[in-house]
Amino acid sequence: MALEIAVLASGSSGNAIYLNEGNITLLIDAGLSGKEIERRMKKIARNPADLDALLITHEHGDHIKGAGVLARRYNIPIYATEGTWKAAEKKLGKLKSRQKRLTKERWQLGGLTIESFPIPHDAAEPVGYTFSNEEIKVGLATDMGYITSEITEALQGLDCLLLEANHDLDLLREGSYPVRLKRRIRSEGGHLSNEETARWLPEILASSRSNYPVVFLSHLSAENNRPELAYLTVKNSLKEAGYNIGDDLILKCAPRREPGKLLVLDNLCQEGEKS
Ligand SMILES: [Zn+2]
Ligand SMILES: [Zn+2]
Protein backbone atom coordinates (compact mmCIF):
# COMPACT_ATOMS: atom_id res chain seq x y z
CA MET A 1 0.00 0.00 0.00
CA ALA A 2 1.21 3.48 -0.81
CA LEU A 3 2.38 5.89 1.83
CA GLU A 4 1.67 9.62 1.67
CA ILE A 5 4.02 12.15 3.15
CA ALA A 6 4.22 15.94 3.25
CA VAL A 7 6.61 18.23 5.10
CA LEU A 8 4.38 20.91 6.59
CA ALA A 9 7.35 22.70 8.14
CA SER A 10 11.01 22.03 8.82
CA GLY A 11 13.67 24.10 10.55
CA SER A 12 14.43 25.83 13.80
CA SER A 13 11.22 27.86 13.50
CA GLY A 14 9.00 24.79 13.51
CA ASN A 15 8.72 21.16 12.44
CA ALA A 16 5.70 19.10 11.41
CA ILE A 17 5.46 16.13 9.06
CA TYR A 18 2.21 14.68 7.74
CA LEU A 19 2.12 10.94 7.06
CA ASN A 20 -0.66 8.59 5.96
CA GLU A 21 -0.87 4.85 5.39
CA GLY A 22 -4.27 3.34 4.63
CA ASN A 23 -6.60 4.50 7.35
CA ILE A 24 -3.85 5.74 9.67
CA THR A 25 -2.94 9.42 9.59
CA LEU A 26 -0.18 10.94 11.69
CA LEU A 27 1.67 14.10 12.45
CA ILE A 28 5.26 13.78 13.53
CA ASP A 29 5.98 16.82 15.68
CA ALA A 30 3.74 19.87 15.83
CA GLY A 31 6.16 22.76 16.21
CA LEU A 32 3.93 25.50 14.79
CA SER A 33 0.80 26.99 16.36
CA GLY A 34 -2.30 24.81 16.11
CA LYS A 35 -3.82 27.37 13.77
CA GLU A 36 -0.83 27.37 11.44
CA ILE A 37 -0.77 23.57 11.29
CA GLU A 38 -4.48 23.60 10.40
CA ARG A 39 -3.77 26.13 7.64
CA ARG A 40 -0.91 24.09 6.23
CA MET A 41 -2.90 20.85 6.29
CA LYS A 42 -5.70 22.60 4.47
CA LYS A 43 -3.18 23.68 1.84
CA ILE A 44 -2.35 20.05 1.09
CA ALA A 45 -6.08 19.23 1.14
CA ARG A 46 -5.91 17.22 4.35
CA ASN A 47 -8.03 17.58 7.47
CA PRO A 48 -6.58 17.70 11.02
CA ALA A 49 -9.78 16.05 12.26
CA ASP A 50 -8.59 12.89 10.47
CA LEU A 51 -5.39 12.63 12.53
CA ASP A 52 -5.11 9.42 14.55
CA ALA A 53 -1.91 10.20 16.42
CA LEU A 54 0.65 12.83 17.13
CA LEU A 55 4.23 11.60 17.56
CA ILE A 56 6.75 13.83 19.28
CA THR A 57 10.53 13.55 18.82
CA HIS A 58 11.48 15.76 21.80
CA GLU A 59 10.26 18.66 23.92
CA HIS A 60 11.90 21.65 22.21
CA GLY A 61 9.40 24.34 21.22
CA ASP A 62 10.07 23.95 17.48
CA HIS A 63 8.67 20.40 17.81
CA ILE A 64 5.74 20.74 20.24
CA LYS A 65 4.40 24.30 20.03
CA GLY A 66 0.94 23.34 18.72
CA ALA A 67 0.80 19.74 19.98
CA GLY A 68 -1.33 20.31 23.09
CA VAL A 69 -3.81 22.53 21.27
CA LEU A 70 -4.29 20.08 18.39
CA ALA A 71 -4.55 17.08 20.74
CA ARG A 72 -7.35 18.78 22.70
CA ARG A 73 -9.14 20.26 19.69
CA TYR A 74 -9.33 17.00 17.73
CA ASN A 75 -9.01 14.48 20.54
CA ILE A 76 -5.72 13.06 19.19
CA PRO A 77 -3.47 10.91 21.37
CA ILE A 78 0.14 12.07 21.72
CA TYR A 79 2.97 9.53 21.69
CA ALA A 80 6.30 10.40 23.31
CA THR A 81 8.99 8.94 25.52
CA GLU A 82 8.67 9.19 29.29
CA GLY A 83 11.46 11.79 29.45
CA THR A 84 9.82 13.91 26.75
CA TRP A 85 6.47 13.74 28.56
CA LYS A 86 8.06 14.94 31.78
CA ALA A 87 9.97 17.75 30.12
CA ALA A 88 7.02 18.85 27.95
CA GLU A 89 4.28 18.52 30.55
CA LYS A 90 3.79 22.23 31.20
CA LYS A 91 3.98 23.26 27.56
CA LEU A 92 1.52 20.59 26.42
CA GLY A 93 -1.09 21.43 29.07
CA LYS A 94 -3.92 19.18 30.19
CA LEU A 95 -4.47 16.07 28.10
CA LYS A 96 -6.83 13.10 28.30
CA SER A 97 -4.36 10.41 27.34
CA ARG A 98 -0.59 10.07 27.40
CA GLN A 99 0.89 7.38 25.24
CA LYS A 100 4.35 6.49 26.49
CA ARG A 101 6.91 4.78 24.34
CA LEU A 102 10.51 3.76 24.91
CA THR A 103 13.43 5.36 23.11
CA LYS A 104 13.87 2.08 21.30
CA GLU A 105 10.55 0.47 20.60
CA ARG A 106 8.56 -0.98 17.73
CA TRP A 107 4.80 -0.72 17.65
CA GLN A 108 1.92 -0.92 15.23
CA LEU A 109 -0.76 1.59 14.26
CA GLY A 110 -3.07 -0.05 11.73
CA GLY A 111 -0.87 -1.31 8.90
CA LEU A 112 1.98 0.98 9.86
CA THR A 113 4.99 -0.23 11.84
CA ILE A 114 6.61 2.55 13.85
CA GLU A 115 10.08 2.28 15.34
CA SER A 116 11.76 4.80 17.58
CA PHE A 117 15.49 5.07 18.14
CA PRO A 118 17.60 7.31 20.43
CA ILE A 119 19.35 10.38 19.08
CA PRO A 120 22.05 12.48 20.80
CA HIS A 121 20.56 15.93 21.46
CA ASP A 122 20.26 18.29 24.43
CA ALA A 123 16.74 17.18 25.31
CA ALA A 124 15.41 14.80 27.98
CA GLU A 125 14.86 11.65 25.93
CA PRO A 126 14.85 12.50 22.21
CA VAL A 127 14.12 10.03 19.42
CA GLY A 128 14.01 9.62 15.66
CA TYR A 129 11.45 7.41 13.94
CA THR A 130 11.02 5.06 11.04
CA PHE A 131 7.62 4.21 9.53
CA SER A 132 7.08 1.19 7.35
CA ASN A 133 4.59 -1.18 5.82
CA GLU A 134 5.45 -4.21 3.71
CA GLU A 135 6.48 -2.06 0.77
CA ILE A 136 7.73 1.32 1.91
CA LYS A 137 9.99 2.57 4.68
CA VAL A 138 10.41 6.21 5.68
CA GLY A 139 12.95 7.53 8.20
CA LEU A 140 13.12 10.78 10.15
CA ALA A 141 16.32 11.84 11.91
CA THR A 142 16.91 15.48 12.85
CA ASP A 143 18.26 17.31 15.91
CA MET A 144 21.38 15.18 16.26
CA GLY A 145 24.65 16.35 17.78
CA TYR A 146 26.50 13.52 16.11
CA ILE A 147 25.89 10.30 14.20
CA THR A 148 25.70 7.04 16.10
CA SER A 149 25.86 3.49 14.76
CA GLU A 150 22.39 2.97 16.26
CA ILE A 151 20.96 5.71 14.03
CA THR A 152 22.74 4.38 10.95
CA GLU A 153 21.34 0.94 11.68
CA ALA A 154 17.79 2.27 12.20
CA LEU A 155 17.93 4.02 8.83
CA GLN A 156 18.73 0.89 6.79
CA GLY A 157 16.55 -0.07 3.86
CA LEU A 158 14.75 3.24 3.41
CA ASP A 159 12.73 4.55 0.46
CA CYS A 160 12.39 8.05 1.83
CA LEU A 161 14.53 9.89 4.35
CA LEU A 162 14.22 13.19 6.18
CA LEU A 163 17.71 13.93 7.39
CA GLU A 164 19.07 16.92 9.25
CA ALA A 165 21.38 19.36 7.47
CA ASN A 166 21.24 22.14 10.04
CA HIS A 167 24.08 24.52 9.32
CA ASP A 168 26.98 25.37 7.09
CA LEU A 169 30.17 25.37 9.17
CA ASP A 170 31.49 28.66 7.70
CA LEU A 171 28.16 30.48 8.03
CA LEU A 172 27.88 29.37 11.65
CA ARG A 173 31.47 30.35 12.43
CA GLU A 174 31.15 33.79 10.85
CA GLY A 175 27.52 34.40 11.83
CA SER A 176 26.05 36.62 14.51
CA TYR A 177 25.13 33.94 17.06
CA PRO A 178 26.73 34.35 20.49
CA VAL A 179 29.72 32.06 21.06
CA ARG A 180 27.81 30.06 23.68
CA LEU A 181 25.04 29.26 21.19
CA LYS A 182 27.54 28.41 18.44
CA ARG A 183 29.18 25.98 20.83
CA ARG A 184 25.82 24.43 21.70
CA ILE A 185 24.98 23.87 18.03
CA ARG A 186 28.35 22.20 17.40
CA SER A 187 28.24 20.19 20.65
CA GLU A 188 27.30 16.53 21.03
CA GLY A 189 23.82 17.69 22.02
CA GLY A 190 23.47 20.05 19.09
CA HIS A 191 22.83 19.71 15.36
CA LEU A 192 24.40 18.12 12.27
CA SER A 193 26.14 20.34 9.75
CA ASN A 194 25.70 20.10 5.98
CA GLU A 195 29.20 18.67 5.78
CA GLU A 196 28.54 15.90 8.31
CA THR A 197 25.29 14.91 6.62
CA ALA A 198 26.95 15.01 3.19
CA ARG A 199 29.68 12.60 4.33
CA TRP A 200 27.18 10.26 6.00
CA LEU A 201 24.40 10.08 3.41
CA PRO A 202 26.15 7.75 0.90
CA GLU A 203 26.40 5.12 3.64
CA ILE A 204 22.66 5.32 4.29
CA LEU A 205 21.82 5.30 0.60
CA ALA A 206 23.95 2.20 0.02
CA SER A 207 21.42 0.24 2.09
CA SER A 208 18.33 1.78 0.47
CA ARG A 209 16.00 -0.81 -0.99
CA SER A 210 14.48 1.69 -3.40
CA ASN A 211 16.02 2.26 -6.80
CA TYR A 212 14.83 5.85 -6.60
CA PRO A 213 14.92 7.03 -2.96
CA VAL A 214 13.72 10.46 -1.91
CA VAL A 215 15.88 12.50 0.49
CA PHE A 216 14.74 15.68 2.22
CA LEU A 217 17.49 17.79 3.76
CA SER A 218 15.72 18.90 6.92
CA HIS A 219 15.84 21.23 9.90
CA LEU A 220 17.90 23.84 8.02
CA SER A 221 18.87 26.82 10.15
CA ALA A 222 17.48 30.12 8.90
CA GLU A 223 20.55 31.98 10.19
CA ASN A 224 23.37 29.57 9.54
CA ASN A 225 22.39 27.82 6.35
CA ARG A 226 21.01 28.37 2.84
CA PRO A 227 19.00 25.70 1.01
CA GLU A 228 21.24 25.99 -2.07
CA LEU A 229 24.36 25.56 0.06
CA ALA A 230 23.01 22.48 1.86
CA TYR A 231 21.91 21.03 -1.47
CA LEU A 232 25.25 21.65 -3.17
CA THR A 233 27.34 20.28 -0.30
CA VAL A 234 25.32 17.06 -0.27
CA LYS A 235 25.15 16.85 -4.06
CA ASN A 236 28.95 17.06 -4.36
CA SER A 237 29.48 14.37 -1.77
CA LEU A 238 26.94 12.10 -3.43
CA LYS A 239 28.58 12.64 -6.79
CA GLU A 240 31.93 11.55 -5.39
CA ALA A 241 30.22 8.42 -4.08
CA GLY A 242 28.76 7.71 -7.53
CA TYR A 243 25.20 8.98 -7.06
CA ASN A 244 23.60 11.27 -9.60
CA ILE A 245 20.67 13.34 -8.43
CA GLY A 246 17.71 12.81 -10.73
CA ASP A 247 19.02 9.46 -12.01
CA ASP A 248 19.64 7.63 -8.75
CA LEU A 249 17.66 9.59 -6.20
CA ILE A 250 15.56 12.70 -5.59
CA LEU A 251 17.15 15.30 -3.33
CA LYS A 252 15.13 18.19 -1.91
CA CYS A 253 15.40 20.74 0.84
CA ALA A 254 12.45 20.44 3.22
CA PRO A 255 10.32 23.61 3.14
CA ARG A 256 10.17 26.11 5.98
CA ARG A 257 7.45 28.68 5.36
CA GLU A 258 4.87 26.83 3.28
CA PRO A 259 4.01 23.13 3.18
CA GLY A 260 5.70 20.98 0.57
CA LYS A 261 3.71 18.96 -1.95
CA LEU A 262 2.11 15.73 -0.92
CA LEU A 263 4.34 12.88 -2.03
CA VAL A 264 2.88 9.45 -2.76
CA LEU A 265 5.40 6.67 -2.25
CA ASP A 266 4.46 3.30 -3.66
CA ASN A 267 6.33 0.03 -4.00
CA LEU A 268 8.14 1.17 -7.13
CA CYS A 269 8.89 4.40 -5.33
CA GLN A 270 7.57 6.32 -8.30
CA GLU A 271 6.44 9.24 -6.23
CA GLY A 272 3.56 11.36 -7.44
CA GLU A 273 5.59 14.47 -8.02
CA LYS A 274 8.96 14.59 -9.71
CA SER A 275 10.98 17.70 -10.07
ZN1 LIG B 1 14.54 21.20 16.43
ZN1 LIG C 1 15.83 20.21 19.43
| pLDDT tens by residue, 211-259 | 899 999 999 999 999 999 999 999 999 999 999 999 999 999 999 999 9
Range of the domain at 158: 3-265
What are the tens digits of pLDDT across the range 36-64? 999 999 999 999 999 999 999 999 999 99
Q: What ligand is nearest to the CA atom of residue 184?
A: 2
CA 11 to ligand 2 centroid distance, Å: 10
Q: What ligand is nearest to the CA atom of residue 124?
A: 2
Nearest to 197 by CA among 171, 173, 216, 224: 216
The count of domains in the chain is 1
151 within some domain = yes
What are the tens digits of pLDDT across the range 104-143? 999 999 999 999 999 999 999 999 999 999 999 999 999 9
270 within some domain = no
CATH code assigned at 49: 3.60.15.10
Q: What is the mean pLDDT of the chain?
A: 95
Instruction: Write down the pLDDT at residue 268.
Output: 56
CA 55 to ligand 1 centroid distance, Å: 14
CA 85 to ligand 2 centroid distance, Å: 15
CA 170 to ligand 2 centroid distance, Å: 21
230 within some domain = yes
184 within some domain = yes
Q: What is the mean pLDDT of residues 156-167?
A: 97
CA 11 to ligand 1 centroid distance, Å: 7
Residue 151 pLDDT more than 70?
Answer: yes
131 within some domain = yes
CA 121 to ligand 2 centroid distance, Å: 7
CA 125 to ligand 2 centroid distance, Å: 11
CA 243 to ligand 1 centroid distance, Å: 29
Residue 35 pLDDT more than 60?
Answer: yes
Residue 269 pLDDT more than 80?
Answer: no
CA 143 to ligand 1 centroid distance, Å: 5
Instruction: Write down the pLDDT at residue 275.
Output: 37
Residue 86 pLDDT more than 90?
Answer: yes
Q: What ligand is nearest to the CA atom of residue 189?
A: 2
Other beta carbons within 10 angstroms of residue 97's beta carbon come to: 10
CA 48 to ligand 2 centroid distance, Å: 24
- Global pTM exceeds 0.75: yes
172 within some domain = yes
Tell me the DSSP string of 150-170.
HHHHHTTT-SEEEEE--B-HH
Residue 21 pLDDT more than 80?
Answer: yes
Instruction: Write down the pLDDT at residue 184.
Output: 96
The torsion of the CA quartet 226, 117, 1, 8, rounded to 10 degrees, works out to -30
84 within some domain = yes
Specify whether the CB–CB gap between 256 and 9 falls below 8 A: yes
223 within some domain = yes
